[in-house]
């Protein structure tokens, strides 16, 4: 009996060693994907912190050519590093949990990228959590990898990288709360790329949003938020631009896909499609399919109670994702003729 137990223990120990080595080698072989995206605990507006200029030195060797090399304190691992891409602001942000909050006052990054307009760092607490922000001169895609005592960040222009692109614009607090759920739904999806105008309550302004749409080559533009109508209204309502007609797949079609999928996923009523008022500049000026999805009426008691539940917001986000996927399955926006890019015809109501 004892001999059998010893054999079993030896086998289990051997399996544990094999698995551990496998994980270790996997992490080594996949350095470019081991740095996670920052969660809500880091995505905050740091209004009270003091921001300092980050030293950026030109490379003296191949290290730092066409990339950003960021030094790390001894002992900092991938588990202590997260990142955030602020698409609308053209910023790349790293959060590093170290021990010395003044580490980046004494250590410079290395790069020769002309795309970097500036770099800064900010200590978020006395235990060594630091935020590093890189301001780029335009919209770029970033990839991170972890080396020995350093992070390497490479950037690419997004043009041609993605076939299906959507710009998501959270227009109020509830729209912002849906952002993490949408990111989670599309995590690992190589067919559809989402760009978010903002991840906090910063007012980006219409010019910034238009620039993001142009730079990303967006196929769709979607606003997310809540409605504020008469008390009896309860459910999902989606607004669209009724002034422009887009041949093939346009504003009405996109709004309909989103409306039906969000209502179905959330288990609530679809109130139907409505023409957006002229005050919504973005929907009224865009020449790509656009819609404004409202996930409830804050003046309605039943909707108000639902909007306070994370589970409801998650279901709504899944519905938005289902609507986006169904829209791309219906039409391939990357296949356009010269005329289809267009301003279409203005419907004058006749």
Dump pLDDT digits (tens) for 135-161: 999 999 999 988 888 999 999 988 778
Dump pLDDT digits (tens) for 62-89: 776 789 999 999 888 888 899 899 999 9
Q: Tell the burial category of 349 from Cβ atoms under 10 Å away from its Cβ (0-12, 13-18, 19+).
A: exposed
Thinking of the domain 164-346, which architecture would CATH place it in?
3-Layer(aba) Sandwich (3.40)
Band of the pLDDT at 61, cuts 50, 70, 90? confident
Q: Which CATH class is domain 33-156?
A: mainly beta
CATH 2.60.40: which residues of the chain?
A: 33-156
CATH 3.40.630.40: which residues of the chain?
A: 164-346
Instruction: Give the pairing of strands 91-97 and 236-240.
Output: unpaired
Q: Give the pLDDT mean for 219-244.
A: 92
pTM: 0.79
Question: Distance between CA 77 and CA 79 in Å, rounded?
Answer: 5
**Residue 41: per-residue pLDDT:** 47
Question: What phi, psi does 252 have (nearest 5°)?
Answer: -65, -45
- Residue 278, pLDDT > 90, answer no
**Residue 45: per-residue pLDDT:** 41
Identify whether the C-beta of residue 49 lies closer than 8 Å to the C-beta of residue 123.
yes
């Amino acid at each position: 009996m004892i001999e059998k137990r010893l054999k079993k223990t030896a086998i289990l120990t051997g399996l544990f060693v094999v698995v551990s080595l496998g994980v270790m080698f996997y992490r080594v072989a996949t350095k470019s994907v081991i740095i996670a995206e920052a969660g809500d605990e880091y995505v905050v507006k740091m209004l009270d912190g003091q921001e300092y200029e980050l030293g950026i030195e030109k490379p003296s060797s191949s290290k730092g050519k066409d990339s950003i090399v960021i030094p790390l304190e001894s002992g900092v691992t991938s588990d202590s590093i997260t990142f955030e891409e602020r698409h609308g602001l053209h910023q790349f942000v790293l959060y590093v949990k170290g021990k010395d909050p003044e580490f980046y006052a004494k250590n410079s990054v290395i790069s020769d990228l002309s795309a970097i307009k500036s770099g800064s760092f900010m200590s978020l607490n006395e235990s060594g959590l630091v935020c590093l922000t890189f301001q780029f001169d335009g919209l770029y895609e970033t990839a991170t990898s972890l080396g020995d005592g350093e992070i390497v960040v490479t950037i690419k222009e997004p043009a041609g990288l993605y076939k299906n692109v959507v710009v998501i614009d959270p227009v109020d607090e509830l729209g912002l709360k849906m952002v993490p759920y949408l990111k989670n739904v599309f995590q690992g999806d190589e067919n559809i790329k989402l760009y978010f105008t903002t991840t906090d309550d910063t007012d980006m302004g219409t010019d910034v949003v238009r620039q993001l749409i142009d730079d990303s080559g967006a196929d769709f533009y979607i606003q997310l938020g809540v409605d504020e109508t008469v008390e009896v209204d309860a459910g999902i309502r989606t607004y669209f631009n009724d002034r422009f007609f887009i041949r093939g797949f346009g504003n009405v079609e996109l709004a309909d896909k989103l409306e039906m999928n969000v209502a179905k996923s959330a288990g609530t009523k679809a109130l139907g499609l409505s023409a957006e008022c002229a005050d919504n500049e973005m929907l009224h000026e865009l020449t790509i399919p656009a819609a404004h999805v409202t996930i409830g009426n804050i003046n309605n008691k039943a909707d108000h109670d639902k909007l306070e539940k994370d589970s409801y917001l998650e279901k709504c986000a899944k519905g938005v994702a289902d609507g986006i996927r169904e829209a791309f399955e219906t039409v391939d926006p990357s296949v356009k003729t010269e005329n289809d890019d267009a301003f279409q015809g203005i419907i004058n109501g006749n």
